[in-house]
Chains A and B, each alone.
Chain A
Amino acid sequence: MSAIREAIREQPRGRLIVVEGIDGSGKSTQLHLLDKWLRHLGVLVFNTEWNSSDVVKEITSKGKKKGLLTPTTFSLLHATDFADRYERNVVPLLRAGYFVLADRYVYTAYARDAVRGCNPRWVRRVYSFAVRPDAAFYYHVPVEVAVKRILTGRPKLKYYEAGMDLNLANDEYESYRIFQSRIIEEYKSMAATEGFRVMDGSLDIELQQAQMRRQVMELLPPAAAAVAAKELAPA
Protein backbone atom coordinates (compact mmCIF):
# COMPACT_ATOMS: atom_id res chain seq x y z
CA MET A 1 0.00 0.00 0.00
CA SER A 2 2.71 2.48 0.95
CA ALA A 3 4.58 1.72 -2.27
CA ILE A 4 1.47 2.62 -4.21
CA ARG A 5 1.02 5.85 -2.27
CA GLU A 6 4.68 6.66 -2.79
CA ALA A 7 4.36 6.16 -6.55
CA ILE A 8 1.30 8.41 -6.63
CA ARG A 9 3.05 11.13 -4.68
CA GLU A 10 6.08 11.08 -6.96
CA GLN A 11 4.00 11.54 -10.07
CA PRO A 12 4.80 15.07 -11.25
CA ARG A 13 1.80 17.37 -11.44
CA GLY A 14 0.58 18.24 -14.92
CA ARG A 15 0.01 21.72 -16.29
CA LEU A 16 -3.11 23.49 -17.36
CA ILE A 17 -2.77 25.82 -20.33
CA VAL A 18 -5.74 27.86 -21.41
CA VAL A 19 -6.49 30.04 -24.43
CA GLU A 20 -9.16 32.70 -24.39
CA GLY A 21 -10.41 35.30 -26.84
CA ILE A 22 -13.43 36.03 -29.00
CA ASP A 23 -14.33 33.93 -32.05
CA GLY A 24 -11.87 34.67 -34.83
CA SER A 25 -9.08 35.75 -32.49
CA GLY A 26 -6.92 32.85 -33.71
CA LYS A 27 -6.68 31.20 -30.28
CA SER A 28 -7.63 27.71 -31.48
CA THR A 29 -5.00 27.81 -34.22
CA GLN A 30 -2.38 28.75 -31.66
CA LEU A 31 -3.44 26.00 -29.29
CA HIS A 32 -3.38 23.46 -32.12
CA LEU A 33 0.19 24.40 -32.99
CA LEU A 34 1.20 24.26 -29.34
CA ASP A 35 -0.31 20.77 -29.11
CA LYS A 36 1.80 19.59 -32.08
CA TRP A 37 4.94 21.01 -30.50
CA LEU A 38 4.33 19.46 -27.08
CA ARG A 39 3.70 16.04 -28.63
CA HIS A 40 6.89 16.41 -30.63
CA LEU A 41 8.72 17.04 -27.35
CA GLY A 42 7.25 13.85 -25.91
CA VAL A 43 4.92 15.58 -23.47
CA LEU A 44 1.61 13.90 -22.58
CA VAL A 45 -1.16 16.11 -23.91
CA PHE A 46 -4.93 16.22 -23.54
CA ASN A 47 -7.21 18.69 -25.30
CA THR A 48 -10.52 19.89 -23.93
CA GLU A 49 -12.89 22.26 -25.63
CA TRP A 50 -15.63 24.54 -24.31
CA ASN A 51 -19.16 23.17 -24.59
CA SER A 52 -18.14 19.80 -25.98
CA SER A 53 -19.40 17.31 -23.38
CA ASP A 54 -21.98 14.79 -24.61
CA VAL A 55 -23.89 15.08 -21.37
CA VAL A 56 -25.60 18.39 -22.07
CA LYS A 57 -25.22 18.70 -25.84
CA GLU A 58 -28.72 17.46 -26.69
CA ILE A 59 -30.35 19.57 -24.01
CA THR A 60 -28.52 22.74 -25.00
CA SER A 61 -29.43 22.28 -28.66
CA LYS A 62 -33.07 21.55 -27.75
CA GLY A 63 -33.16 24.66 -25.59
CA LYS A 64 -31.66 26.73 -28.37
CA LYS A 65 -34.09 25.41 -30.97
CA LYS A 66 -37.12 26.04 -28.79
CA GLY A 67 -35.82 29.36 -27.51
CA LEU A 68 -36.18 28.19 -23.92
CA LEU A 69 -32.83 29.36 -22.65
CA THR A 70 -32.53 32.23 -20.22
CA PRO A 71 -29.18 33.72 -19.16
CA THR A 72 -29.38 31.62 -15.98
CA THR A 73 -30.12 28.27 -17.62
CA PHE A 74 -27.67 29.02 -20.42
CA SER A 75 -25.02 29.70 -17.80
CA LEU A 76 -25.85 26.60 -15.73
CA LEU A 77 -25.82 24.29 -18.74
CA HIS A 78 -22.40 25.56 -19.72
CA ALA A 79 -21.27 25.08 -16.14
CA THR A 80 -22.61 21.51 -16.25
CA ASP A 81 -20.67 20.89 -19.44
CA PHE A 82 -17.57 22.37 -17.86
CA ALA A 83 -17.93 20.37 -14.64
CA ASP A 84 -18.36 17.14 -16.59
CA ARG A 85 -15.14 17.68 -18.54
CA TYR A 86 -13.44 18.96 -15.41
CA GLU A 87 -14.36 16.04 -13.14
CA ARG A 88 -14.01 13.37 -15.80
CA ASN A 89 -10.84 14.53 -17.57
CA VAL A 90 -9.08 17.62 -16.34
CA VAL A 91 -8.63 16.71 -12.68
CA PRO A 92 -7.41 13.11 -13.15
CA LEU A 93 -5.17 14.02 -16.08
CA LEU A 94 -3.52 16.89 -14.25
CA ARG A 95 -2.86 14.50 -11.39
CA ALA A 96 -1.38 12.02 -13.85
CA GLY A 97 1.08 14.60 -15.15
CA TYR A 98 -0.58 15.60 -18.43
CA PHE A 99 -0.45 18.95 -20.13
CA VAL A 100 -4.12 19.80 -20.39
CA LEU A 101 -4.85 22.28 -23.17
CA ALA A 102 -8.17 24.05 -22.77
CA ASP A 103 -9.74 25.92 -25.65
CA ARG A 104 -11.70 28.35 -23.48
CA TYR A 105 -11.99 28.02 -19.72
CA VAL A 106 -13.96 29.69 -16.91
CA TYR A 107 -13.13 33.14 -18.29
CA THR A 108 -15.41 32.50 -21.27
CA ALA A 109 -18.26 32.02 -18.81
CA TYR A 110 -17.25 35.10 -16.83
CA ALA A 111 -17.27 37.19 -20.01
CA ARG A 112 -20.31 35.82 -21.85
CA ASP A 113 -22.56 35.36 -18.83
CA ALA A 114 -21.80 38.88 -17.64
CA VAL A 115 -22.72 40.25 -21.07
CA ARG A 116 -25.92 38.17 -21.01
CA GLY A 117 -26.85 39.74 -17.68
CA CYS A 118 -25.98 37.17 -15.04
CA ASN A 119 -24.64 38.40 -11.74
CA PRO A 120 -20.83 38.33 -12.27
CA ARG A 121 -20.14 37.40 -8.65
CA TRP A 122 -22.57 34.48 -8.87
CA VAL A 123 -20.90 33.16 -12.04
CA ARG A 124 -17.50 33.25 -10.34
CA ARG A 125 -18.91 31.39 -7.35
CA VAL A 126 -20.44 28.71 -9.55
CA TYR A 127 -17.01 28.07 -11.09
CA SER A 128 -15.09 28.47 -7.84
CA PHE A 129 -14.10 24.78 -7.85
CA ALA A 130 -12.00 25.20 -10.99
CA VAL A 131 -8.24 25.29 -10.49
CA ARG A 132 -6.29 28.33 -11.67
CA PRO A 133 -4.46 27.59 -14.92
CA ASP A 134 -0.67 27.56 -15.07
CA ALA A 135 -0.94 29.87 -18.05
CA ALA A 136 -3.94 31.69 -19.52
CA PHE A 137 -3.24 33.20 -22.94
CA TYR A 138 -5.65 35.87 -24.05
CA TYR A 139 -5.63 36.55 -27.77
CA HIS A 140 -6.56 40.11 -28.31
CA VAL A 141 -7.68 41.34 -31.71
CA PRO A 142 -9.67 44.42 -32.64
CA VAL A 143 -13.32 43.44 -33.02
CA GLU A 144 -13.35 44.39 -36.74
CA VAL A 145 -10.50 41.96 -37.47
CA ALA A 146 -12.13 39.04 -35.67
CA VAL A 147 -15.57 39.72 -37.07
CA LYS A 148 -14.15 39.97 -40.57
CA ARG A 149 -12.44 36.58 -40.14
CA ILE A 150 -15.68 34.97 -39.01
CA LEU A 151 -18.02 36.72 -41.39
CA THR A 152 -15.99 36.26 -44.59
CA GLY A 153 -18.33 34.41 -46.90
CA ARG A 154 -21.36 35.64 -44.91
CA PRO A 155 -22.03 32.42 -43.00
CA LYS A 156 -25.42 31.93 -41.39
CA LEU A 157 -25.01 33.00 -37.76
CA LYS A 158 -26.93 31.07 -35.16
CA TYR A 159 -29.36 32.94 -32.95
CA TYR A 160 -27.45 32.67 -29.65
CA GLU A 161 -24.06 32.81 -31.34
CA ALA A 162 -25.01 36.21 -32.75
CA GLY A 163 -26.25 37.30 -29.31
CA MET A 164 -29.74 37.85 -30.77
CA ASP A 165 -31.22 36.95 -27.37
CA LEU A 166 -29.81 40.21 -26.05
CA ASN A 167 -31.82 42.42 -28.41
CA LEU A 168 -28.76 44.42 -29.34
CA ALA A 169 -29.76 44.95 -32.96
CA ASN A 170 -32.26 43.63 -35.49
CA ASP A 171 -29.56 42.67 -37.95
CA GLU A 172 -27.73 39.54 -36.85
CA TYR A 173 -24.37 40.70 -38.17
CA GLU A 174 -24.69 43.98 -36.34
CA SER A 175 -25.81 42.11 -33.20
CA TYR A 176 -22.83 39.80 -33.49
CA ARG A 177 -20.47 42.76 -33.76
CA ILE A 178 -21.87 44.47 -30.67
CA PHE A 179 -21.97 41.19 -28.71
CA GLN A 180 -18.33 40.42 -29.51
CA SER A 181 -17.15 43.92 -28.62
CA ARG A 182 -18.89 43.65 -25.25
CA ILE A 183 -17.15 40.36 -24.61
CA ILE A 184 -13.82 42.00 -25.42
CA GLU A 185 -14.61 44.65 -22.79
CA GLU A 186 -15.22 41.89 -20.23
CA TYR A 187 -11.97 40.16 -21.11
CA LYS A 188 -10.10 43.44 -20.79
CA SER A 189 -11.59 44.18 -17.40
CA MET A 190 -10.42 40.84 -15.97
CA ALA A 191 -7.04 40.60 -17.74
CA ALA A 192 -4.98 41.99 -14.89
CA THR A 193 -6.78 40.36 -11.95
CA GLU A 194 -6.86 36.95 -13.64
CA GLY A 195 -3.23 37.18 -14.72
CA PHE A 196 -3.84 36.83 -18.46
CA ARG A 197 -0.83 36.62 -20.74
CA VAL A 198 -2.10 39.06 -23.34
CA MET A 199 -1.11 38.12 -26.87
CA ASP A 200 -1.42 40.25 -29.98
CA GLY A 201 -3.69 38.18 -32.20
CA SER A 202 -3.14 40.42 -35.21
CA LEU A 203 0.54 39.42 -35.58
CA ASP A 204 1.73 36.68 -37.95
CA ILE A 205 0.68 33.22 -36.82
CA GLU A 206 4.30 31.97 -36.71
CA LEU A 207 5.44 34.89 -34.59
CA GLN A 208 2.57 34.44 -32.14
CA GLN A 209 3.34 30.75 -31.86
CA ALA A 210 7.03 31.41 -31.16
CA GLN A 211 6.01 33.77 -28.34
CA MET A 212 3.61 31.23 -26.92
CA ARG A 213 6.17 28.40 -27.01
CA ARG A 214 8.77 30.57 -25.31
CA GLN A 215 6.37 31.16 -22.43
CA VAL A 216 5.29 27.54 -22.18
CA MET A 217 8.93 26.44 -22.06
CA GLU A 218 9.15 27.50 -18.41
CA LEU A 219 6.43 24.98 -17.62
CA LEU A 220 7.99 21.96 -19.33
CA PRO A 221 9.49 19.01 -17.47
CA PRO A 222 13.34 19.15 -17.55
CA ALA A 223 13.92 16.62 -20.35
CA ALA A 224 11.42 18.25 -22.69
CA ALA A 225 12.68 21.69 -21.75
CA ALA A 226 16.23 20.74 -22.74
CA VAL A 227 15.12 19.59 -26.20
CA ALA A 228 12.95 22.65 -26.62
CA ALA A 229 15.76 25.00 -25.60
CA LYS A 230 17.99 23.65 -28.36
CA GLU A 231 15.31 23.89 -31.00
CA LEU A 232 14.01 27.27 -29.98
CA ALA A 233 17.43 28.93 -29.83
CA PRO A 234 16.91 32.61 -30.62
CA ALA A 235 17.48 33.32 -34.29
Chain B
Amino acid sequence: MIRSGKAMGPRALTFYGDGIPSLKGREIKGRLIVIEGSDGSGRSTQVDLIMAKLESEGHAVATTGLKRSELIGKGILTAKQKLPLGKKTLTLFYAADFADQLEHKIIPALEAGYIVLADRYIYTLIARSTVRGTSRKWSNDLFGFTMKPDLVFYLDVDPGELFHRVFQKYAGLDYYESGADLGLSDDLYDSFVIYQRMMAKEFKAMEKKYGLVPIDANRPVAEVNADLQGRIDRFLHDGV
Protein backbone atom coordinates (compact mmCIF):
# COMPACT_ATOMS: atom_id res chain seq x y z
CA MET B 1 0.00 0.00 0.00
CA ILE B 2 1.46 3.34 -0.98
CA ARG B 3 0.65 5.89 1.63
CA SER B 4 2.05 9.20 0.49
CA GLY B 5 1.03 11.88 2.86
CA LYS B 6 1.12 15.63 2.55
CA ALA B 7 4.86 15.82 3.20
CA MET B 8 5.55 14.10 -0.14
CA GLY B 9 4.70 16.93 -2.53
CA PRO B 10 7.33 18.73 -4.59
CA ARG B 11 9.53 21.15 -2.73
CA ALA B 12 12.33 23.54 -3.71
CA LEU B 13 15.93 22.55 -3.03
CA THR B 14 17.33 24.50 -0.12
CA PHE B 15 20.97 24.86 0.85
CA TYR B 16 22.79 25.36 4.13
CA GLY B 17 24.93 28.22 2.88
CA ASP B 18 26.04 29.59 -0.45
CA GLY B 19 24.72 26.58 -2.33
CA ILE B 20 25.39 25.49 -5.89
CA PRO B 21 24.26 28.26 -8.27
CA SER B 22 23.32 25.94 -11.15
CA LEU B 23 20.94 24.02 -8.89
CA LYS B 24 19.13 26.99 -7.40
CA GLY B 25 15.40 26.86 -7.94
CA ARG B 26 15.37 23.13 -8.72
CA GLU B 27 12.44 21.14 -7.42
CA ILE B 28 12.64 17.76 -5.78
CA LYS B 29 9.85 15.24 -5.38
CA GLY B 30 11.63 12.85 -3.02
CA ARG B 31 12.88 13.34 0.50
CA LEU B 32 16.32 13.16 2.06
CA ILE B 33 16.68 11.40 5.39
CA VAL B 34 20.05 11.21 7.13
CA ILE B 35 21.23 8.75 9.77
CA GLU B 36 24.39 9.91 11.53
CA GLY B 37 26.47 8.26 14.21
CA SER B 38 29.84 6.67 14.93
CA ASP B 39 30.99 3.30 13.64
CA GLY B 40 29.24 0.73 15.80
CA SER B 41 26.26 2.96 16.54
CA GLY B 42 24.04 0.69 14.44
CA ARG B 43 23.71 3.16 11.59
CA SER B 44 23.95 0.77 8.66
CA THR B 45 21.62 -1.74 10.32
CA GLN B 46 19.01 0.98 10.81
CA VAL B 47 19.42 2.19 7.22
CA ASP B 48 18.76 -1.36 5.97
CA LEU B 49 15.68 -1.79 8.19
CA ILE B 50 14.21 1.57 7.25
CA MET B 51 14.84 0.91 3.57
CA ALA B 52 13.07 -2.44 3.74
CA LYS B 53 10.07 -0.89 5.46
CA LEU B 54 9.78 2.05 3.08
CA GLU B 55 10.15 -0.19 0.04
CA SER B 56 7.49 -2.53 1.37
CA GLU B 57 5.20 0.49 1.48
CA GLY B 58 5.96 1.16 -2.18
CA HIS B 59 8.45 3.99 -1.92
CA ALA B 60 11.47 4.09 -4.19
CA VAL B 61 14.50 4.25 -1.92
CA ALA B 62 18.15 5.00 -2.66
CA THR B 63 21.02 4.91 -0.19
CA THR B 64 24.21 6.87 -0.05
CA GLY B 65 27.21 7.10 2.27
CA LEU B 66 30.64 8.62 2.57
CA LYS B 67 33.57 7.53 0.39
CA ARG B 68 31.21 6.03 -2.16
CA SER B 69 31.48 8.48 -5.03
CA GLU B 70 32.38 7.29 -8.49
CA LEU B 71 34.85 10.14 -8.86
CA ILE B 72 36.84 9.71 -5.67
CA GLY B 73 35.59 6.89 -3.44
CA LYS B 74 38.57 4.75 -2.55
CA GLY B 75 40.97 7.38 -3.87
CA ILE B 76 40.91 8.95 -0.43
CA LEU B 77 42.10 5.71 1.17
CA THR B 78 44.85 5.33 -1.40
CA ALA B 79 46.03 8.87 -0.82
CA LYS B 80 45.92 8.41 2.97
CA GLN B 81 48.06 5.28 2.71
CA LYS B 82 50.60 6.95 0.45
CA LEU B 83 51.39 9.79 2.78
CA PRO B 84 49.66 11.43 5.73
CA LEU B 85 47.36 14.22 4.65
CA GLY B 86 46.91 17.53 6.39
CA LYS B 87 43.62 18.10 8.16
CA LYS B 88 42.32 20.75 5.75
CA THR B 89 43.43 18.65 2.79
CA LEU B 90 41.53 15.66 4.12
CA THR B 91 38.40 17.70 4.84
CA LEU B 92 38.43 19.14 1.31
CA PHE B 93 39.00 15.69 -0.15
CA TYR B 94 35.94 14.35 1.65
CA ALA B 95 34.00 17.44 0.59
CA ALA B 96 34.84 16.72 -3.06
CA ASP B 97 33.75 13.11 -2.64
CA PHE B 98 30.54 14.27 -1.03
CA ALA B 99 29.87 16.90 -3.72
CA ASP B 100 30.21 14.27 -6.42
CA GLN B 101 27.56 12.09 -4.74
CA LEU B 102 25.32 15.06 -4.03
CA GLU B 103 25.27 16.23 -7.64
CA HIS B 104 25.38 12.89 -9.43
CA LYS B 105 23.40 10.69 -7.10
CA ILE B 106 21.44 12.32 -4.28
CA ILE B 107 19.85 15.23 -6.14
CA PRO B 108 18.99 13.26 -9.31
CA ALA B 109 17.34 10.58 -7.13
CA LEU B 110 15.39 13.21 -5.21
CA GLU B 111 14.28 14.83 -8.45
CA ALA B 112 13.04 11.45 -9.62
CA GLY B 113 11.00 11.08 -6.42
CA TYR B 114 13.18 8.70 -4.46
CA ILE B 115 13.48 8.76 -0.72
CA VAL B 116 17.22 8.97 -0.19
CA LEU B 117 18.59 7.42 2.99
CA ALA B 118 22.01 8.83 3.70
CA ASP B 119 24.27 6.66 5.84
CA ARG B 120 26.15 9.69 7.21
CA TYR B 121 26.17 13.16 5.71
CA ILE B 122 28.32 16.25 6.23
CA TYR B 123 28.07 16.29 10.03
CA THR B 124 30.58 13.49 10.56
CA LEU B 125 32.97 15.31 8.25
CA ILE B 126 32.55 18.57 10.14
CA ALA B 127 32.94 16.92 13.55
CA ARG B 128 36.06 15.00 12.53
CA SER B 129 37.60 18.12 11.12
CA THR B 130 36.73 20.27 14.13
CA VAL B 131 38.10 17.87 16.75
CA ARG B 132 41.34 17.90 14.75
CA GLY B 133 41.57 21.63 15.15
CA THR B 134 40.22 23.24 11.99
CA SER B 135 37.92 26.18 12.45
CA ARG B 136 34.25 25.35 12.90
CA LYS B 137 33.30 28.36 10.82
CA TRP B 138 35.50 27.25 7.96
CA SER B 139 33.84 23.82 7.86
CA ASN B 140 30.37 25.32 8.06
CA ASP B 141 31.20 27.68 5.20
CA LEU B 142 32.82 24.95 3.14
CA PHE B 143 29.80 22.67 3.44
CA GLY B 144 27.51 25.58 2.63
CA PHE B 145 27.23 24.09 -0.86
CA THR B 146 25.18 21.18 0.46
CA MET B 147 21.41 20.78 0.49
CA LYS B 148 19.38 20.70 3.65
CA PRO B 149 17.95 17.24 4.34
CA ASP B 150 14.37 16.77 5.52
CA LEU B 151 15.28 14.74 8.58
CA VAL B 152 18.59 14.17 10.35
CA PHE B 153 18.94 11.60 13.11
CA TYR B 154 22.02 11.20 15.23
CA LEU B 155 22.48 7.79 16.84
CA ASP B 156 23.91 8.61 20.23
CA VAL B 157 25.79 5.78 21.96
CA ASP B 158 27.79 5.97 25.14
CA PRO B 159 31.53 5.66 24.26
CA GLY B 160 32.02 2.74 26.65
CA GLU B 161 29.18 0.80 25.00
CA LEU B 162 30.46 1.80 21.57
CA PHE B 163 33.87 0.35 22.39
CA HIS B 164 32.39 -3.09 23.05
CA ARG B 165 30.33 -3.03 19.87
CA VAL B 166 33.27 -1.99 17.71
CA PHE B 167 35.55 -4.58 19.29
CA GLN B 168 33.02 -7.36 18.82
CA LYS B 169 32.41 -6.39 15.23
CA TYR B 170 35.96 -5.74 13.99
CA ALA B 171 38.08 -7.41 16.70
CA GLY B 172 40.04 -4.18 16.88
CA LEU B 173 39.85 -0.42 16.70
CA ASP B 174 40.14 1.75 13.62
CA TYR B 175 43.13 4.09 13.77
CA TYR B 176 41.24 7.29 12.94
CA GLU B 177 37.94 6.36 14.63
CA SER B 178 39.81 6.01 17.88
CA GLY B 179 41.56 9.32 17.35
CA ALA B 180 44.97 7.63 17.44
CA ASP B 181 46.31 10.31 15.08
CA LEU B 182 45.58 12.94 17.75
CA GLY B 183 47.97 11.59 20.37
CA LEU B 184 45.27 11.67 23.08
CA SER B 185 46.62 8.77 25.10
CA ASP B 186 49.07 5.88 24.85
CA ASP B 187 46.22 3.65 25.95
CA LEU B 188 44.02 2.93 22.93
CA TYR B 189 40.92 2.40 25.06
CA ASP B 190 41.35 5.82 26.69
CA SER B 191 42.06 7.36 23.32
CA PHE B 192 38.90 5.83 21.85
CA VAL B 193 36.70 7.00 24.71
CA ILE B 194 38.15 10.52 24.75
CA TYR B 195 37.85 10.78 20.96
CA GLN B 196 34.25 9.57 20.91
CA ARG B 197 33.37 12.06 23.67
CA MET B 198 34.91 14.85 21.63
CA MET B 199 32.90 13.75 18.59
CA ALA B 200 29.71 13.54 20.64
CA LYS B 201 30.32 17.09 21.87
CA GLU B 202 30.60 18.31 18.28
CA PHE B 203 27.38 16.55 17.30
CA LYS B 204 25.69 18.13 20.30
CA ALA B 205 26.96 21.54 19.18
CA MET B 206 25.49 20.93 15.72
CA GLU B 207 22.02 19.94 16.93
CA LYS B 208 20.57 23.40 16.73
CA LYS B 209 22.35 24.76 13.68
CA TYR B 210 21.71 21.70 11.54
CA GLY B 211 18.51 20.39 13.11
CA LEU B 212 20.02 17.11 14.29
CA VAL B 213 17.64 14.91 16.28
CA PRO B 214 19.53 12.81 18.85
CA ILE B 215 18.32 9.24 19.22
CA ASP B 216 19.32 7.14 22.21
CA ALA B 217 21.00 4.23 20.44
CA ASN B 218 22.21 2.44 23.58
CA ARG B 219 18.92 0.55 23.33
CA PRO B 220 18.36 -2.71 21.40
CA VAL B 221 18.16 -2.52 17.60
CA ALA B 222 14.41 -3.12 17.45
CA GLU B 223 13.67 -0.40 19.97
CA VAL B 224 15.84 2.14 18.17
CA ASN B 225 14.23 1.12 14.90
CA ALA B 226 10.71 1.58 16.24
CA ASP B 227 11.67 5.06 17.43
CA LEU B 228 13.22 6.06 14.08
CA GLN B 229 10.51 4.49 11.96
CA GLY B 230 7.82 6.18 14.01
CA ARG B 231 9.40 9.56 13.44
CA ILE B 232 9.91 8.92 9.73
CA ASP B 233 6.33 7.73 9.27
CA ARG B 234 4.97 10.78 11.05
CA PHE B 235 7.04 13.01 8.81
CA LEU B 236 6.08 11.29 5.58
CA HIS B 237 2.39 11.12 6.39
CA ASP B 238 1.75 14.24 8.39
CA GLY B 239 4.76 16.40 7.58
CA VAL B 240 5.87 16.68 11.21
Interface residues of A (CB under 8 A from B): 54-56, 58-59, 62-63, 66, 68-73, 76-77, 79-80, 83-84, 86-88, 117-119, 121-122, 125-126, 128-129
Contact = CB atoms under 8 A, between A and B. Distances in A.
B71 A59 contact: yes
Contacts of A62: 71
A119 B71 contact: no
A170 to B, nearest CB: 21
Contact of B141 (A55, A87, A125): A125
Contact of A55 (B79, B87, B135, B145): B79
13 contacts: A55-B83, A58-B75, A59-B96, A62-B71, A69-B71, A72-B99, A72-B145, A76-B96, A76-B99, A79-B92, A83-B86, A122-B19, A128-B138
B93 A73 contact: no
A80 B76 CA distance: 11
A119 B141 CA distance: 12
Contacts of A84: 85-86, 89
Contacts of B145: 72, 119, 122
Given A59-B72, A71-B22, A122 B17 contact: yes
Nearest to B134: A129
B104 interface: yes
Contacts of B144: 122, 125
B93 A80 contact: yes
B141 A126 contact: yes
B92 A76 contact: yes
Nearest to B92: A80
A128 B141 CA distance: 10
A117 B79 contact: no
Contacts of A73: 71, 96, 99-100, 103
The interface centre, meaning the residue of A80, A121, A126 with most chain B CB atoms within 10 A of its CB, is: A80
Contact of A88 (B72, B86, B103): B86
Contact of A80 (B18, B22, B87, B89): B89
A88 B145 CA distance: 26
Interface of B is mostly: helix
Interface residues of B, number: 32
A54 to B, nearest CB: 7
A39 B17 CA distance: 45
Given A79-B92, A119-B145, A125-B144, 12 more contacts: A56-B79, A62-B71, A71-B22, A72-B99, A73-B96, A76-B95, A76-B99, A86-B86, A87-B87, A88-B86, A121-B18, A126-B92
B142 interface: yes
A126 to B, nearest CB: 5
B216 to A, nearest CB: 35
Interface in B55-105: 70-72, 75, 79, 82-83, 85-89, 92-93, 95-96, 99-100, 103-104
B89 A63 contact: no
A73 B144 CA distance: 14
Contact of B138 (A72, A80, A119, A129): A129
B139 to A, nearest CB: 10
B142 A125 contact: yes
Contacts of A118: 20-21
Nearest to A122: B18
Contacts of B99: 70, 72-73, 76
A87 B86 contact: yes
A55 B89 contact: yes
Contacts of B20: 71-72, 118-119
B18 A63 contact: no
B92 A83 contact: yes
Given A68-B104, A128-B141, A119 B18 contact: yes
A119 B142 CA distance: 12
The interface centre, meaning the residue of B20, B21, B96 with most chain A CB atoms within 10 A of its CB, is: B96
A86 B90 CA distance: 12
B236 to A, nearest CB: 29
A62 B95 CA distance: 17
Nearest to B140: A125
Contacts of B93: 55-56, 80
A235 to B, nearest CB: 46
- 9 closest cross-chain pairs (CB), A and B: A87-B86, A122-B18, A76-B96, A125-B141, A119-B18, A80-B92, A83-B89, A84-B89, A83-B88
